[in-house]
């Protein structure tokens, strides 16, 4: 079964072709120019998706060596995301499915991040605990079976990636901040300064990253920090900030797996590309845990993860006719709730 999948929920235009759960091609066009605005400008993102979606689709088909006529399923991200950006990929995909009389599968972007951890992996088992850390979301989920997900915790304010991006901006490093902080942290001292993380009473699996951002801001003011002046100081601040965020993500996930007695852990979303986060979780393999972290290409937004999720959704659905309904529309849903996962 061949799936053609689309992802346009934010600032990546991506198209993938899959054979069952194997990704044959996964083309990603990142709109790097948003960095000069310090963040994604929604209207510009939509226009860029529109400009490039045909070319990216042709390239994905070309690289997969699969003809459009051989495609059996069409999948696209339908929620959550920037409304105008979602519109482009979703309508393109729906039109294609309608014209070719193919099933169309709407895919939840968060679910796509969950299943991205299993791309190109031998096999995986349920139940698993899934930590999803991206620019817009921080979620801890218990997956009992395909699409039977229970929300254990989420962020009460900023997402983990958002904290990385905002702190990078304060340090004058640029956008997106995660990879830059990661790079600087490698040569920094993680014990240089202790940045505190908020403790949320009675909500043991929830996260909060807004306080640490403010604490970095006050610290920078207290030392009259000047961007670009002292590389060692920047590296030390990055390492200390990163340690605090990674600690919080790691400890809460570990508490969940211990308490629920689950041996499988998946970590996904853009922040799962972080070297320290990967190292901490990978270390758990020695303790008998199965750790699933996507390869770099599948950690940030990509259509491969939309394709694998669409495929799983299709093969696990008793009523395949539901995928002929093209009447629904996309949803922005900036904050996640139980219904959305």
CB of 269 to Zn ion, least distance (A): 6
Which CB, 215 or 272, lies closer to Zn ion? 272
Q: Which 285-324 positions form the footprint of ligand KG4 (CB under 6 A)?
A: 300-301
Contact 22, 123 (CB under 8 A): no
CB of 112 to Zn ion, least distance (A): 8
**Residue 239 CA, distance from chain mean position:** 22
d(CA 55, CA 291): 36
Q: Is 20 left (phi over 0), alpha (psi -120 to 50) or beta?
A: left
d(CA 47, CA 8): 11
Q: Which 211-240 positions form the footprint of ligand KG4 (CB under 6 A)?
A: none
Contact 158, 211 (CB under 8 A): no
CB of 32 to ligand KG4, least distance (A): 13
Of 51, 50, 49, 62, the closest CA to residue 12 belongs to: 49
271 binds ligand KG4 (CB under 6 A): yes
d(CA 61, CA 16): 8
Contact 74, 103 (CB under 8 A): yes
Three-class SS of residue 111? Answer: helix
Which CB, 60 or 271, lies closer to ligand KG4? 271
Counting residues that bind ligand KG4 (by CB under 6 A) gives 19
134 binds Zn ion (CB under 5 A): yes
Contact 239, 190 (CB under 8 A): yes
Contact 339, 80 (CB under 8 A): no
Provide the edge-to-edge strand list for the sheet that holds 73-79.
22-30, 12-19, 2-7, 73-79, 104-108
Measured distance between the N- and C-terminal CA atoms of the chain, rounded to whole angstroms: 25
Q: Could you tell me which stretch among 172-180, 227-235, 254-262, 286-294 binds ligand KG4 (CB under 6 A)?
A: 172-180
Partner whose footprint covers residue 176, from Zn ion, ligand KG4, none (CB < 5 to 8 Å by kind): ligand KG4
162 binds Zn ion (CB under 5 A): no
136 binds ligand KG4 (CB under 6 A): yes
269 binds ligand KG4 (CB under 6 A): yes
242 binds Zn ion (CB under 5 A): no
CB of 263 to ligand KG4, least distance (A): 25
89 binds ligand KG4 (CB under 6 A): no
Site map for Zn ion, 277-306, x if CB under 5 A? ------------------------x-----
Interface residues with ligand KG4 (CB under 6 A) are 10, 134-136, 161, 164-165, 176-179, 182, 269-271, 273-274, 300-301
């Amino acid at each position: 079964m061949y799936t053609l999948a689309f992802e346009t929920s934010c600032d990546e235009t991506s198209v993938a072709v899959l054979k069952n759960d194997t990704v044959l091609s996964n083309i990603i066009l990142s709109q790097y120019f948003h960095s000069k605005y310090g963040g994604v400008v929604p209207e510009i993102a939509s226009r860029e998706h529109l400009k490039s979606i045909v070319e990216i689709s042709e390239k994905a088909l070309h690289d997969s060596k699969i003809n459009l006529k051989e495609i059996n399923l069409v999948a696209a991200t339908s929620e959550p995301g920037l409304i105008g950006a979602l519109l482009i990929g979703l309508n393109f995909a729906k039109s294609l499915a309608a014209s070719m009389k193919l099933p169309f599968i709407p895919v939840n972007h968060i679910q796509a991040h969950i299943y991205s951890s299993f791309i190109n992996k031998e096999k995986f088992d349920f139940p698993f605990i899934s930590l999803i850390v991206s620019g817009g979301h921080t979620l801890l989920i218990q997956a009992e079976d395909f699409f039977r997900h229970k929300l254990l915790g989420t962020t009460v304010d900023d997402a983990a990636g958002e904290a990385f991006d905002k702190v990078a901006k304060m340090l004058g490093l640029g956008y997106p901040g995660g990879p830059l902080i990661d790079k600087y942290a490698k040569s920094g001292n993680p014990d240089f300064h202790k940045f505190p993380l908020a403790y949320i009473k009675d909500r043991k699996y929830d996260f909060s990253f807004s306080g640490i951002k403010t604490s970095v801001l006050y610290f920078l003011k207290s030392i009259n920090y000047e961007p670009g002046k002292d590389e060692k100081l920047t590296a030390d601040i990055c390492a200390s900030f990163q340690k605090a965020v990674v600690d919080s993500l790691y400890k809460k996930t570990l508490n969940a797996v211990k308490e629920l007695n689950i041996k499988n852990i998946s970590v996904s979303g853009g922040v799962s590309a972080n070297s320290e986060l990967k190292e901490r979780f990978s270390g758990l393999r020695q303790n008998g845990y199965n750790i699933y972290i996507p390869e770099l290409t599948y950690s940030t937004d990509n259509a491969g993860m939309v394709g694998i999720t669409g495929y799983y959704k299709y093969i696990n659905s008793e009523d395949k006719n539901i995928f002929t309904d093209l009447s629904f529309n996309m949803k922005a849903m900036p904050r996640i709730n139980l219904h959305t996962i």
